[in-house]
Amino acid sequence: MKDPTVSADLVLGREESANVLFCGVPVHRAIIAPLTALQADAAKAGFDLRLVSGYRSFDRQLAIWNAKAQGKRAVLDSAGHTLDISTLSESELINAIMRWSALPGASRHHWGSDIDIYDAAAVTADYVVQLTPDEVADTGVFGPLHLWLDQQFASGGGHGFFRPYAVDRGGIAPERWHLSYAPLAAKCDAVISENLLREILSNVENLCLRKGILDELDKLYSRYVAVPPSCYPEPIFTDLINKA
């Protein structure tokens, strides 16, 4: 069921009026209280939970997409290693980019509900967070934070946050650092659709690989954009099933 407070423009990253700053990073105001609570719990456990990114606009996601399609920004394989995109077909390139980066209009970061996190207490102030699998592996520099989060989520102590990309479902690569605030994200999930995405992308003339994207959008949407309701924590999961 769609929430009238969640507009198509918000879901597509073209509405920023609901955003506020959390430690200098823009996020939707609805996640401030639960995020503050999660951060406080982390501090008690010895972690300094910080944000690498929060809200991201449509135009920013478009710039990221085009830079990768044009070879101006690295395109990575599933292990996080740089690919030679000159060896890829158009379809292979689209899928390779989407393994780690969303299409403009299809990023959960547009919603302000989703954040990328790290443990500032585990690194020096000049450390540059890469958001790579090695960093967040159990033995990685941010592994202890994520092992703690595993326990929090399993015990219902995640304050509504969960990992939409916790496992590899054959689409977006697992992103242990990516957290989503379920109560808001579920409302946005009810608005985003393949038809909405097709409508907006059909009119973005400077979108690289546009024809190939539109030709394959049904498959791309189901593989990389749609997140199964079962990924959501209770009671949001039950609510989504009941409203479907």
Q: Are 129 and 51 in contact (CB under 8 A)?
A: no
User: Token pair 């690498």 is at which residue?
Assistant: 52
Q: Are 100 and 76 in contact (CB under 8 A)?
A: yes
Query: 179 - beta bridge partners?
Result: 115
Backbone angles phi and psi of 191, in degrees to 5: -100, -40
Q: How far is CA 228 from the centre of its chain?
A: 14
Cα three-residue angle 120-126-129, rounded to 5 degrees: 60
Task: Retrieve residue 237's tokens.
Answer: 């999961």
pLDDT for position 235: 73
pLDDT digits (tens), the chain, 244 positions: 567 789 999 999 999 999 999 999 999 999 999 999 999 999 999 999 999 999 999 999 999 999 999 999 999 998 889 999 999 999 999 999 999 999 999 999 999 999 999 999 999 999 999 999 999 999 999 999 999 999 999 999 999 999 999 999 999 999 999 999 999 999 999 999 999 999 999 999 999 999 999 999 999 999 999 999 999 998 776 665 565 4
Query: 82 - beta bridge partners?
Result: 76
Rounded-to-5 percentages of helix, strand, coil across the chain: 45, 10, 45
Q: How far apart are CA 242 and CA 28, in angstroms?
A: 26
Q: Find out whether the peptide bond into 235 is cis, omega within 30 degrees of 0.
A: yes
Report how far apart, in Å, the C-alpha atoms of 184 and of each of 5, 190, 193 are.
10, 10, 16
Burial class from Cβ neighbours inside 10 Å (0-12, 13-18, 19+) for residue 138 reads exposed
pLDDT for position 242: 62
Q: How far apart are CA 3 and CA 172, in angstroms?
A: 26
